[in-house]
Amino acid sequence: MRSIATINQKGGVGKTTTTVNLSAALARMGQRVCIIDLDPQAHASLHLGVTPSDSELSTYGVLTADVTLAQARVPVAENLWVVPAHLDLAAAELELAGEVGREIILRDKLAEETEEFDFLILDCPPSLGVLTLNALTAAKEVFLPLQPHFLALHGLSKLLRTLELVAKRLNPKLRLTGIVYCMYESGTRLAAEVSHDVQDFFDSLNASDSVWAGARSFDAKIRRNIRLAEAPSFGQSIFDYAPGSHGAEDYQALAIEVMGSEAAGMRDASVVTGAVARPASTLID
């Protein structure tokens, strides 16, 4: 099973859109996928049409009470499940403040899991608090959505330092697999410059044995597409809402690339390219 945390302490960069639509694309390819919504805003849950009425049966109950992931999990489509978030999760940070081992609660709950999944995708809030730490402790991989924006690199060093600390103290298996460019305006100078700067930044890190060793940007760039912004209000993934859109095409291409990219395999770009057997557009019905 691959477990992936979608993180960036900035809001509005495309974490939730990527979590939901990448998961939906993988599920349509026959992978069994479970999303765990760790953001009190519950955007991923709402995007999939799920609103837990009982706060216990959500990630809040999982982190603060005796609720198992299986009890809180809801099926949303073929091969796709979500453990939804509830607004009460906002209080979890405070409620867990005095708790010993509060960063590893989710990892312990996952250890009790009996259901088999191919992918576990964890949608994180825009902060590096206890909820994100639970995701980083439970996951083996990190996907970092970035908006090619002149401030894209701002805050990246802090984020990488957090990953490094978590890897050192709590989860030695943690690796940054890759950067997903979201709201990409292809053909603009800014997008090209920012992706170039990000690549330079990673090349400049002496990466050999660190948490970001082998990290790279995915070739599939998610273009700015209004359909992606509209889909959440309908409680549908892009594949149900607008299957012929650029958004569906881009997330399908990302899923194909992710399937071909075991964390270690990402180090060899040819492995990734080799996985694309057909042009993404032919896979969309």
Residue 124 interacting partner from Mg ion, ligand ADP, none (CB closer than 5 to 8 Å by kind):
none
> With b meaning 16 or more CB within 10 Å and e meaning fewer, what string describes 251-270?
bbbbbbbbbbbebebbeeee
CB of 57 to ligand ADP, least distance (A): 23
Collapsing DSSP to helix, strand or coil, 45 comes out as helix
Q: Which is nearer to Mg ion, 43 or 175 (CB)?
A: 43
Q: Minimum distance between the CB of residue 34 and ligand ADP, rounded to whole angstroms?
A: 18
Q: How far is the CB of 125 from ligand ADP (least distance, A)?
A: 9
Nearer to ligand ADP, 11 or 155 (CB): 11
* Interface positions with ligand ADP (CB under 6 A): 11-17, 43, 126, 182-183, 222, 224-225, 228-229, 232
The minimum distance between CB 164 and ligand ADP, in angstroms, equals: 22
> In the structure encoding, which two tokens stand for residue 145, read together?
């959505």
Closer of 7 and 138 to ligand ADP (Cβ): 7
Number of residue whose CB is nearest Mg ion = 16
Q: Which is nearer to ligand ADP, 17 or 79 (CB)?
A: 17
Residue (of 142, 140, 206) closest to 172 by Cα position:
140
For residue 18, the minimal CB distance to ligand ADP (Å) is: 7
Number of H helices, E strands in the chain: 13, 8
DSSP secondary structure letters along 178-191: EEEE-SB-TT-HHH
Complex with ligand ADP: residue 182 or 194, whichever CB lies closer: 182
From residue 24 to residue 53, what is the string marking binding to Mg ion with x (rule CB under 5 A)?
-------------------x----------
CB half-sphere exposure, 135, CA atoms < 13 A: 29
Q: Which of Mg ion, ligand ADP, none sits in contact with 148, Cβ below 5 to 8 A by type?
A: none
16 binds Mg ion (CB under 5 A): yes
The dihedral sign for the CA sequence 263, 2, 145, 127: negative
Any idea what DSSP says for residue 283?
Answer: G
Q: Which is closer to Mg ion, CB of 2 or CB of 47?
A: 47
CA dihedral sign, ordered 239, 253, 4, 218: negative
Cα dihedral: 256, 27, 232, 156 (round 10): -50
Q: Interface with Mg ion by CB under 5 A: which residues?
A: 15-16, 43
